[in-house]
Each structure stands twice: as C-alpha cells, then as structure tokens.
Amino acid sequence: MLAEIRAERESLEGVREEEKRLREELRKQEEEGVRAASDLGRRRREGAKRMGPAVEKELSRVALAGANFRADLVSRPPGAESLSAHGFDEADLLFCANPGQEMRPLSVTASGGELSRVMLALRNASAKGRRNRTMVFDEIDTGIGGKVAERVGARLKGLGGAAQVVCVTHLPQVAAFADSHLLVVKRAGKSSVATGVQPLTKQDRIKELARMISGSDVTEEAQAQARELIKGAARG
C-alpha cells in the first residue's frame, strides 16, 4: 500500500513538472506572437498610408478620377488576451466614387461596375515590384461597357507586364487587349455535356470578337469593328 502511495505521489510530481514546463512554453509562444503581431500591425499601418494614393491613381485610369479610397485599421491593445490569428488589427476599406461624398465601407457603397474597377485598381497597385504571379479575373468587367471597358482592358494588359493575367470576359472591348484569346466551348452529347477550351487563330479571333459585338449573326460590319478594336488595343 505504501509503495502504491509513493508511486502515485511521484506521478503527481511529474504531472506538476510537465504543467510547469507547458505553461512556460505557452508564455514564450504568447510573447513571440505579441511581438510578431505588433510588427505586422506596424507594417500594415505603413502600407495603409501608401495604399490610398496608389489605388486612387489606378482608379483615375479606369474612369473613376476623383474617387477616394482609404484603408482604415482598428487595432486592439497589444497583449496575449487580444491576440488572434490575424494579429491585433481589423481593416475596413472605405470608398466614395465622387468628390465631396461621404466615404463608406466599399462593400456597401460601390456599384457592381465600381467594385470591379476597385478590385482591378487594388491588383494593379499591389503588383508593382512583384513578378511571376498568376492573377485570375472572372468577369471583372461586370456593369461596365464602352470607353470604360476599353480602359479596363488597357489596365489588364498593363498588369500583364508584371504577372500572368487570365481574364474571363464577355466584352469585346476587353478581349481585344488579350495576347492570347481562348474560347470556352460546350459540346452536348447524347447523355452528357463536355466543356473545352479552344485557342483562337488571328482570323478566328476576329470572328469571335465580331460575334461578341453583333451576336450569332456575324456581319462584315461587325468583323470590321473587331479589327479596329484589335488595332486600337495594340496601339494602347
């Protein structure tokens, strides 16, 4: 009986030692986390100061001259109790499309077309100095057309100088700026539908842009307009 009590006491002492070791390890991890989160917050504040002017400059290039953009950071007091996987900070992106308007959260104030252009501006502003990346834009031209679509196409092409850009679009003004044009096609079988991607030759591309302009009835006028779009994109 005495031997059992001694063994149990030794076991409990071992548990206390393990608890002490784990608590010390937790303290060190928390201190390291606080240091990393504080450094991250400092870098975020520095980046937020640069982000606003850089994004506004890009917005002026996609027909949103005069728009205001700002990244607001709200930071919790540094300490282990307020530490999260994202550090101490919460960010809110504020936007207004016209001078003199109140800046409000981007998620509630931007229209579909404005939101698409803000996304493109953010991508362009953050791409400077960073290469060897692939960016995918799925119908970023939603809610725009005409000259605005041409400007968006030109900025996408400019972004292609720093990254590989894959853009899904239904607008000929945007597609005309592509270096390579791929057509997504569906083929229906007796019991299934297969989707494929078809690279377009120069002539096929003219016909596809013409179809995007005029619909299923591809006219000579539409093909002539498609050629002009491609020439204009090459000049731009």
Q: What share of the chain is helix, strand, coil (3-state, %, to 5)?
A: 55, 20, 25
Question: At 192, is the pLDDT very low, low, confident or very high (cuts 50, 70, 90)?
Answer: confident
Per-residue pLDDT averaged across 185-196, rounded?
A: 84
pLDDT above 70 for 55: yes
Exposure letters 50-77 (e unless 16+ CB within 10 A, then b) = ebbebbbebbebbbbeebbbbbeeebee
- Condensed to tens digits (0 to 9), the pLDDT of residues 88-107 reads 998 899 999 888 888 999 88
State how far the Cα of 99 lies from the Cα of 107, in Å rounded to an integer: 19
Per-residue pLDDT averaged across 130-151, rounded?
A: 80
Q: What is the pLDDT of residue 160?
A: 84
SS3 of 167, please?
strand
User: Residue 43 has which token pair?
Assistant: 């870098």
Dmax of the chain from CA atoms?
104
% residues pLDDT > 90 (the chain): 36
- Condensed to tens digits (0 to 9), the pLDDT of residues 6-34 reads 666 666 666 778 788 888 998 999 899 99
